[in-house]
Amino acid sequence: MSKPTRKARKTFSLSREAVCYLELLRKGKQARSISAVLEDLIRQRREAEEMERISASISGYYDSLTDGHAADDRAWGKFSESQLRTEE
């Protein structure tokens, strides 16, 4: 079992509207605290940023391919699809 990470206590000033929104999220998710809601929001944002980074990296790779390399990739893709169909 992993050791729980130690949390840092911080104080933030938020608008009443932001606090009400966080409280609504807490109730809707039945979270134990607003801190848990904030942790979840931060985790979701970090995951979204990571997915954007990966997507940009993949797009960059395919955008950098020459026409010949792209044709090779398509040929390998068709070949692998044909092999999957025969195994089913």
Q: The tokens of 66 are what?
A: 């020459």
pLDDT by residue for the chain (88 residues), tens only, comes to 666 788 899 999 999 999 999 999 999 999 999 999 999 999 999 999 999 999 999 999 989 989 999 899 889 989 988 888 665 5
Give the residue extent of every domain in the chain: 14-65
What one-character-per-residue DSSP string does the chain give? -PPPPPPPP------HHHHHHHHHHHHHHT-S-HHHHHHHHHHHHHHHHHHHHHHHHHHHHHHH--HHHHHHHHHHHHHHHHHHHHH-
Confidence (pLDDT) at 75: 92
Asked if residues 38 and 22 have their Cβ atoms less than 8 Å apart, the reply is yes
